[in-house]
């Protein structure tokens, strides 16, 4: 398993190794000892799966009180996945990075994204549909749920909206009511 650095400190791309033959392939996508030896969490408490259609934008979500680290994997489709550093003591506070995530890269590698606690997370569905599975380090905590506005001009996230041919992304009412970074309640 390869653990690759990204432009944001502590956000990692993870590429599990695939073993294949004429029948198909096999991959170990999670192993507590391998993750621990790479400095990643070895324990997750909840698995979440979403199904969305093209143009759905989910996020930018985070939790106060019980922050969630997320291990994100696309099972089908193609998403633009975004992490925003909300750690006030981080030299990269308020910076974001985005990734095209699919079930496999153009080179056939499996790929997952590790987003640690202290980050906001969101994604835009670029394909006709997408299924996303993510493991979390803490359970869902409704009282601590918060949302940064996906189109906050201070963040200036480069969402690939051109795929929508001029249409606006489909955003939930809760996400549409998100707060700009400079007025959000942060960890």
Catalytically active residues, by annotation: 61, 134
| 8 Å CB contact between 130 and 78 | yes
Query: In sequence order, what DSSP letters do the residues of the chain get, joined into one string?
Result: -EEEE-SSTT-EEEEPPEEEETTEEEE----HHHHHHTTS-S---EEEEEEEETTBEEEEEEESSS---EEEEEEES-EEEEEEE--TTSTTTT-EEEEEE-SB-TTS-B-EEEE-TTEEEEEEE-SSEEEEEEEESS---GGGEEEB-TT-TTT-----GGGGTTPPPB--HHHHTPBPGGGS---
Peptide bond into 60 cis (omega under 30): yes
Beta bridge partners of 25: 20
């Amino acid at each position: 398993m390869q653990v690759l650095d990204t432009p944001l400190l502590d956000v990692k791309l993870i590429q599990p190794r695939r073993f294949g033959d004429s029948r198909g392939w096999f991959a170990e996508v999670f192993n507590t000892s391998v993750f621990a030896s790479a400095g990643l969490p070895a324990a997750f408490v909840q698995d979440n799966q979403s199904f969305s259609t093209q143009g759905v934008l989910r996020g930018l979500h985070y939790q106060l009180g019980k922050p969630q680290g997320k291990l994100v994997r696309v099972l089908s489709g193609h998403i633009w996945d975004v992490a925003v550093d909300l750690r006030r003591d981080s030299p990269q506070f308020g910076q974001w990075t985005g990734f095209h995530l699919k079930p496999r890269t153009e080179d056939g590698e499996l790929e997952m994204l590790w987003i640690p606690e202290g980050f906001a997370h969101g994604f835009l569905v670029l394909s006709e549909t997408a299924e996303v599975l993510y493991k979390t380090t803490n359970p869902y905590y409704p009282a601590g749920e918060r949302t940064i506005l996906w189109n906050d001009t201070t963040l200036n996230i480069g969402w690939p909206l051109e795929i929508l041919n001029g249409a606006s992304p489909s955003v939930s009412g809760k996400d549409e009511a998100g707060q700009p970074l400079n007025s959000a309640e942060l960890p």
